[in-house]
Every structure is written in structure tokens, then in C-alpha cells.
Amino acid sequence: MQIPDYSSQIKAVFFDIDETLYMKDTDTLPESVFPALKKLQENNILIGIATGRVVASFPPKIQALIHALNINTFVTSNGQFVQCQGEVLRNAAIPLHIVRPLLNFFQQEQIAYAVINNHKLCVSEITPRLEEALNPITHNYSVDPNYCDHHPILQILSFSDESQDELIENSGFLAGLKTIRWHKNSLDILESEGSKARGIAEVAKHLGFSMENIMAFGDGLNDLEMLSQVGVGVAMGNGHPKLKAQAKHVGKEVDKDGIADFLARANLI
């Protein structure tokens, strides 16, 4: 696969975390990631993290990477929180009058859920379905079904399988919200206009960049908007087929040094 020389176009590169920078099932950060990202910085290219996670659930190895490279630009919770070089550009809580009725519905239907902000992740109860989806990501959560009543919520997770998607979509409690399936046992639920792409666009505007000046890497369905709206969208070789079909480029798998390989072939490192 021939990759163009993007060195004169790209001013910032955003990375998803799970199965892009990092393999959550094996708690592995490929050895090639740190030197590749360090070289990006040496070439005066901004590094950003764009993830469905919130900061409170970043894996320790990603936290160490961020600390070592002093990364300070984040699009988290699928674009609900945006920070650029330490300055908060967006911290968009879902209104309680939308959150509470939806959570009441989940309780009625015996669907476990999580509510998330950048500092804490609380779950309604601990179930096998929840543990299968959530534990590979983080164990840093506590049980508090009423957390939303006293704290801002950026995102909700329902621990439901595909057989329950229609039930949730037809519940009448998703006004102003959208769902994205990220695991066979879980949906992301966030603002209908929320996306990593929206968050990245805010960073670009803040820095005086065009979206054409941005490259982004991802693997999942919550990366669709991001990869289609930046100048250069790169799907990982291990990515979802729908994402790979829409991305400008498809790189190698995360465990085959897909990040470093593509950056080198694009002449960014």
C-alpha cells in the first residue's frame, strides 16, 4: 500500500486508545509506540488522545505514556470533554432531566448501567455482563445508582446485548441522545451531536488549524465520524469492517506496530 508524504499537511495526530495505541485484553502497549510519538513531538506535530474513555479510566500504561511525553490535549468521553494544551474547551454534561428518566427505565428493565464523568465511574450494580465488558477497561469503579443526582454526567453505558437494542431505542428516553455499540454487552450513550470529530474540530479551531491538517487513528464504530472528518483518517488493521471501509487508509494491526509503521510511511517520523 502506497502512503503519500503527509509531512507538509499534518500538524496534529489524534489517537484512540483501546486496540489502537494499546491492547486492553493483554494490557500491552507496543514498544514502538513511545519512540514513534516522541519523534512526532520532535517534528513539532501535536499529539492528542481521542477516546471513549474518561481520564479516570485511562490504563496505567497510557497514563505513563502521557506523563513521559507531557501530552496535554485530550478528547475524552467521545467528545464530551475537550482539553487543548491544558485549557478546557468543552465539559458537556448531559442534563439531569434527560439522564434520570433513562436510568429509571434501565432499573425497570433490570439493565445494569454506568454513569461517567472525567473523575469517576459509578455503576448501578455489578453483573457478569457488566464485568465482561468493563473489567478489561478498568476496575476503577464503584457502585452508586444515584451518583447522577449530585454530579455531572458526561456519558452513560448500558450493559445490554444486541437483543435489547430495539427495546432501548424505542424506550422514548433517548431524546437528544445517541447510542454506539462498543462491546457485545454494552452501548455508549451520549449527546446526539457528540463525537470525537466534534471535539477534534474544537481543538483545530482553537489552534488555528484546518481539519485537513489533522490525522487520526482508530479501530471502532465510535471512530467513524473522526476518521471521516479529519484530513487523514487511518483505521487499524484490526479495526471494525465498517470503519475500514470508510477510512482513507487502513494500516497494520496494533500488535504489528501499526501506528509506528504508518507514521513512518507517511513521512511524519
Whether 117 and 93 have beta carbons less than 8 Å apart is answered as: yes
Written as nine digits, the cell of 134 is 468493563
Is the CB of residue 263 less than 8 Å from the CB of residue 13?
yes
Q: Which residue has the cell 451518583?
A: 147
- The pairing of strands 177-183 and 74-76 is unpaired
Cell 500488535, residue located: 255
Tell me if residue 250 falls in helix, strand or coil.
strand
Q: Find all residues with CB under 8 Å of 63, minimum gap 6, and list them.
A: none
Angstrom CA distances, 193 to 24, 176, 203, 210, 225, stand at 28, 8, 16, 20, 11
| 16 belongs to the catalytic site | yes
The DSSP call for residue 156 is: E
Q: Which three cell numbers stand for residue 126?
A: 455489578
Residue the block writes with cell 479551531? 205
Measured CA to CA, the distance from residue 208 to residue 249 in angstroms comes to 25
Asked if 157 and 135 touch (Cβ cutoff 8 Å), the reply is no
The alpha helices in the chain, defined as continuous H runs, are 33-42, 60-69, 96-108, 128-134, 165-169, 196-207, 224-229, 241-246, 258-265
Which residues does the annotation mark as catalytic? Answer: 16
